[in-house]
Copies of this chain bind each other. A is one copy, B any other.
Amino acid sequence: MLKLYFAPGTCALASHIALQEAGAAYTTERLDFKSNQQNSPEYLAINPKGRVPSLVTDRGILTETPAMLAFIAQSFPQAKLAPSDDAFEFAKVQAFNSYLCSTVHVAHAHKMRGFRWATEEASFADMKRVIPKSVGASFALIERNMLKGPWVMGEQYTICDPYLFTLAGWLQGDSVDLAELPRVADHMKRMAERPAVQQVLAEEKG
Q: Does A78 contact B (CB under 8 A)?
A: no
**Interface size range on A against B:** 35 or more
Contact B48 A95 (CB under 8 A): no
Contacts of A59 in B (CB 8 A): 88
Contact with B along A24-63 (1 / 0, CB 8 A): 0000000000000000000000001100000001011011
What's the number of copies of this chain in the assembled complex?
2
Q: Does A112 contact B (CB under 8 A)?
A: no
A contacts with B: majority SS: helix
For window 126-173 of A, CB contacts with B under 8 Å fall at: 126-127, 129-130, 134, 141, 144-145
Hey, which bits of chain A sit against chain B, CB under 8 A? 48-49, 57, 59-60, 62-68, 70-71, 74-75, 87-88, 90-92, 94-95, 98-99, 101-103, 105-107, 110, 116-120, 122-123, 126-127, 129-130, 134, 141, 144-145
A-B contact pairs, 5 of them (CB 8 A): A65-B98, A120-B122, A122-B122, A122-B123, A122-B126
